[in-house]
Amino acid sequence: MRHNSLSRSVCGATKLRRARIGPRLASAGLGMLAALALAGCAPNTTTPLMPASTNSKAIYDLFLVVYAIAALVFVVVAAALVYAAVRYSRSKDNALPPQIEGNVRLEIAWTVIPAVVLVAVFVFSLQTLFAITRTPPAAAGQPDSTLHVRVIGHRWWWEFVYPGLNITTANEVHVPAGVDLELDVESVDVVHSFWVPQLAGQKDATPGHVNVLPLRITQTGVYQGECVEYCGTEHALMRLQVIAETPDQFQTWVQNQQAGPAAVTGAAAQGEQVFLKGACIGCHTVNGTAAKGLTGPNLTHFASRQVFGGAVLANTPENVAIWLADPQSVKPGNLMPNLHLPPDQISALTAYLEALK
Ligand code: CUA
């Protein structure tokens, strides 16, 4: 029953199952179909073929060039193959065609032409590589105001820290569109990889090392991302979303995040007591309270997020209650144990968390 209500309310659960058959389909040459099946469920289409940042646009442009070259090579080779098969077919008089051994001009041609093609692809690739690893120059007339965000991989969720703004959040990251961003990608445990297909290529999240991902998002919107380096049991449920807003909307969000936690009353106040006296504070932080745990997501403004649990659950009271009742039934192996909370504590905690706007 629980599982039924979960998969009805959470698109991610059905996406997970499809994602697991994805590689097999892809290896059968049906990767495109798999991508369409996955995209069918997401609120926003997630594909590198719809670039929405300077970084992904550079990659997309390279893709078009390489695709055009590959298509041309295919047409020439296929045409030569068909011509040779028809022209030199043995069926006509059942005699061997003239047997040729060695042709210097031909051999030079089929060595030089592929070499030139490969050098051209190499040069285009190198140009793109430099473009996507360099912070883009500030837009004309704008001061350089690069926003730095630390992207930290955890088993199995993403943490986002804004060093200059004193904000810590999880699973979804708000950024302004049209502003230079520098994402500093790292990990606290194993190697993960950060990928938001519409915004940039994949960037490994490695413990003890920061990989820098510069980009400027060109369109507001919500962009889905995921971990793309196998990192254990719940690798497939380690997702995120990037919410790119106008600078004004972003400022509003920043002010809300910088404020202390909302004052709570009624059931939410009871939930706060359960929270502060229970095991929760060992792993979670709520700014301005005794809860200062760092293992799990910072919950100060939990209710302001659209998703939780590695961005696989919609942030609804029903889903929060299901998660609190047994996190292991939702994401087996995740680091939050089943606390065997009684139903009244679950509903109080749910009221509390959903009051943390
Ligand atoms: Cu983290 Cu895969």
> Please, what are the averages of pLDDT over each run of 10 residues along the chain (357 residues)?
39 40 43 47 67 94 95 96 87 74 91 95 94 72 80 96 93 94 95 96 95 94 95 94 96 93 88 92 92 92 93 93 93 91 93 93
Are residues 331 and 232 in contact, defined by beta-carbon separation less than 8 angstroms? no
Give the position, in ligand 1's atom list, of the atom nearest the Cα of 231: 2
Looking at residue 142, its pLDDT comes to 63
Q: Do domains 46-88+102-135+164-245 and 266-353 have the same CATH topology?
A: yes
Q: Which residues of 146-163 are buried (b: 16+ CB within 10 A; e: fewer)?
A: ebebbbbbbbbbbbbbbe
Cα 276 to ligand 1 centroid, rounded to whole Å: 30
As assigned by CATH, the class of the 46-88+102-135+164-245 domain is mainly beta
Q: Which residues pair with 198 in a beta bridge?
A: none
Q: How far apart are CA 294 and CA 153, in angstroms?
A: 13
Looking at residue 225, its pLDDT comes to 95
Tracing tokens 């719809």 back to the chain, one arrives at 50
Give the position, in ligand 1's atom list, of the atom nearest the Cα of 191: 1
Looking at residue 138, its pLDDT comes to 59
The two beta strands, 239-245 and 172-176, are parallel
Cα 357 to ligand 1 centroid, rounded to whole Å: 28
Phi-psi region of 309 (alpha: psi -120 to 50; beta: other; left: phi over 0): left
Looking at residue 15, its pLDDT comes to 40
Cα 196 to ligand 1 centroid, rounded to whole Å: 13
Looking at residue 19, its pLDDT comes to 39
Are residues 236 and 229 in contact, defined by beta-carbon separation less than 8 angstroms? no
Residue nearest to atom 1 of ligand 1 (CA): 192
Cα 136 to ligand 1 centroid, rounded to whole Å: 28
Q: How far apart are CA 155 and CA 140, in angstroms?
A: 41
Q: How far apart are CA 34 and CA 18, in angstroms?
A: 8
Residue 299, helix vs strand vs coil: coil
The two beta strands, 307-308 and 239-245, are unpaired
Cα 235 to ligand 1 centroid, rounded to whole Å: 4
Q: Which residues line ligand 1 (CB under 6 A)?
A: 153, 156, 192, 227, 229-231, 235, 238
Are residues 177 and 147 in contact, defined by beta-carbon separation less than 8 angstroms? no
Cα 170 to ligand 1 centroid, rounded to whole Å: 15
Maximum C-alpha span of the chain: 96
Angle between helix 104-133 and helix 54-87 axes, rounded to 10 deg: 170
Give the position, in ligand 1's atom list, of the atom nearest the Cα of 229: 2
Looking at residue 260, its pLDDT comes to 84
Q: How far apart are CA 171 and CA 151, in angstroms?
A: 10
Q: Which residue ranges make up each domain of the chain?
A: 1-39, 46-88+102-135+164-245, 266-353
Class of residue 138 by CB neighbours under 10 A (exposed 0-12, middle 13-18, buried 19+): middle
Give the position, in ligand 1's atom list, of the atom nearest the Cα of 155: 1
Give the position, in ligand 1's atom list, of the atom nearest the Cα of 232: 2
Looking at residue 263, its pLDDT comes to 87
Question: What is the architecture of the domain spanning 266-353?
Answer: Sandwich (2.60)
Class of residue 101 by CB neighbours under 10 A (exposed 0-12, middle 13-18, buried 19+): exposed
